[in-house]
Structure 1
Amino acid sequence: MAHAKQHENLLLTEHFTWPPISLIDDIINTVNDSLYSCNDTLETGLLSADPSFLGFTPRLDESEEQTHERARLEIEEGAQKLETLMIDAVDRNFDRLEIWTLRNVLCLPREEGFENWVRLSHYEGLKIPPKNNTLTPEALYALRRKLVETSKLHAALVTERTRNEVQIARLRALFTPPKQVPRSSTASEKDKSEAQGTAPFAFLTHAPAAQALGVQALPLPTTSTKPESRTPLTTHTTFTTSQLPHLRQLLAQLKPHLASSALPSGKSGESEERAKERRVYIESQSRRVLERRGVDTRDGVEGNVEGSRVRVEELSALEGIVGTLDTDRTEDGEAMDTS
């Protein structure tokens, strides 16, 4: 009987991909977590309330702090007792739920030997070798290794397929038209920038110029589970190359007109009056710039060296220095003559 029950548990575990008892354990753990959370919340609410609201009145021989301490101890003791009672009720009732579920829901029919006739979906098409096979331990080990490597390869291919689908979705998003943002003032700048930046290459497939060139637009993403026909992005290079001779012909026709339609140069095309006005304008602007920088422009702006204007005080100081130097030289010459 124990062997049959163990075989039944193995069969159900293989079918559900999880042990049947784990479902009951998860339910009981969830209920216990809710119980502990409710009990903690209740205890916190009682401790935060005024003891007088809960019926705790100070005695004759105790202070207010002692009353609060007595109330806290009684609340904690009561919360612990309540938690014990609730845990006992949960254990008793959910043990019944576990027994009933394993006997009536997560189980096989009561017919004896029924588990020997059950065939799971992943066993479809499995060829069972005959009993008198000559399978050696080495061949069995090789088959196991092959199965392990095949499982690894399958997992790697599934991961690569998922990664490729994500990458393709990102690339297709670059060519799909951006979402329409209302032009009202309530639309934020962030939404507008996101709408413009979601598909920077949408003009390659959905613009009128692309449609005129015959570029086929990518189909919009759909939520249906049916496989959609994906049309790759085709650029009709034959049409472009066919237009090159016509463009070259137009360029050859425009070249003779370039010399006659060029703008006149400043030396040959300007009249004398226009050149004089230009010189006057340039001189006035140059005079203004030099005056801002402190250059004396009373004698004209031609030949002036950029520098600051010398003030009267500076000029007087320089003349005084020069006079002092001349006096020293005269005195030195007289002293040499007398010697």
Structure 2
Amino acid sequence: MASSATSDVTLLTEHFTYRPTALIDDIVNSINVLAFKATEAVEKGLLGANPSDLGFKIPPPTTPEAQEAGKAIAEAAKHEIENGVHQLETLLEAKIDKNFDRLEIFALRNYLSVPPEVRDWVRLSHYEGLTFTQDKDAPNTESVTLLRRKLRETQKLHALLRAEKARNEATIKALKALVLNQATKKEDVDGETCPAFAFLQNRGELMGDGKQPVTTTTEFTLSQVPGLKGLLENLEPRLEGLASGTGKEGLVGEDQKSWRRERLGFIEKETRRHMENVRGLELGEMGEVRDGEWQGEGRKLGKGEVEDLERVVSMVGGGDAGEPMDQDS
């Protein structure tokens, strides 16, 4: 029963776009407002009437005592009116609540309800055209997750492309600076500023006449002479500095090694010393191990040295010292 009542309320609320009980509440509130206005009008009418017309006996105000008694009777009459109006208002509210509760029950049972035999067959106007079959192409959790991943990767690619574009623009700007006069300048030896390859744009009187190629080539060569002259002037101070030096400028000598080369030389020297003194190995000029291997052809012995060796051998071994040995043996 509770489920059917709940379904009726839900269906009627969806149809009316408001709760069915809200209609009864509006009716009750309207009656309460009218009852309040009625009691207020009654109170104003009674307070505006003469107390003697309402049954109160007021003595004539001939003496001060009579006047005081009249005021007391008027206050008592006012109190009685307010008390009576309050009781009337309470009575009306009780009667309204009791009777309109009955109205609410009657209306909800007979008017604001859906018969059980048609409850499952009701179709409202905004239900038309709706399909409750599952669509295969409808988005689900997996498809949404896949789209999020694609979006994330697309954003990463977009950021990489923008960075690559910025690098390419910087490279193009740097290349243009080498040729265009409006680009970044660099200082030469004389303190003047000019792009490094700006002379390539200075064609002079070169007009590109294809009928006279020799003249065109000559004009182009002459147009490049100022730029080459500037480069030559830039090289002359450097050549003079190299010529006036000790011969070590521009070279990597023992006195001008960088700290990296000095470090490598120190490590190589200490390693060689360790291998020779601690390990007992004999190393060649390039650091190769020479112990136990053929070390190349040694120096040749003279004839006198060979004869001395033969005498020593004959003395030790008792051999014949008169047979000379071959010098090459």
Sort the TM-score into its range (normalised by shorter chain).
0.3 to 0.5
Larger radius of gyration: 2
State the TM-score, normalizing by the size of structure 2. 0.39
State the TM-score, normalizing by the size of structure 1. 0.38
